[in-house]
């Protein structure tokens, strides 16, 4: 079984663990319709992204989603 020849320093150990502290990303509220949306994604409820209409959403789909 392989065994390390030298002791791992605190600095190297902590650098290896630096990604363990990352937090989960959560949904943000769409400024147009108020629905929760993942960041950097088109809002499926209203079809807008960064204030621009990207996809056309019919009123039937919006009423069914509500």
Instruction: Please report whether residue 41 resides in a domain.
Output: yes
pLDDT at 8: 95
Task: Say how many domains are in the chain.
Answer: 1
**pLDDT above 80 for 36:** yes
Q: Using an 8 Å Cβ cutoff, are 54 and 42 in contact?
A: yes
Instruction: Please report whether residue 3 resides in a domain.
Output: no
As a whole number of angstroms, the distance between CA 22 and CA 25 comes to: 9
As a whole number of angstroms, the distance between CA 36 and CA 45 comes to: 9
* Domain housing 47: 33-66
Instruction: Please report whether residue 23 resides in a domain.
Output: no
**pLDDT above 60 for 62:** no
Instruction: Please report whether residue 39 resides in a domain.
Output: yes
Q: Using an 8 Å Cβ cutoff, are 58 and 44 in contact?
A: no
Average pLDDT for residues 8-34, to the nearest whole number?
91
Instruction: Please report whether residue 44 resides in a domain.
Output: yes
């Amino acid at each position: 079984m392989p065994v390390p020849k030298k002791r791992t320093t605190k600095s190297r150990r902590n650098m290896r663990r630096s990604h363990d502290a990352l937090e989960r990303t959560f949904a943000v509220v769409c400024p147009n319709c108020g629905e929760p949306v993942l960041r950097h994604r088109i809002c499926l409820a209203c079809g807008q992204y960064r204030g621009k209409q990207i996809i056309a959403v019919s009123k039937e789909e919006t009423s069914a989603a509500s």
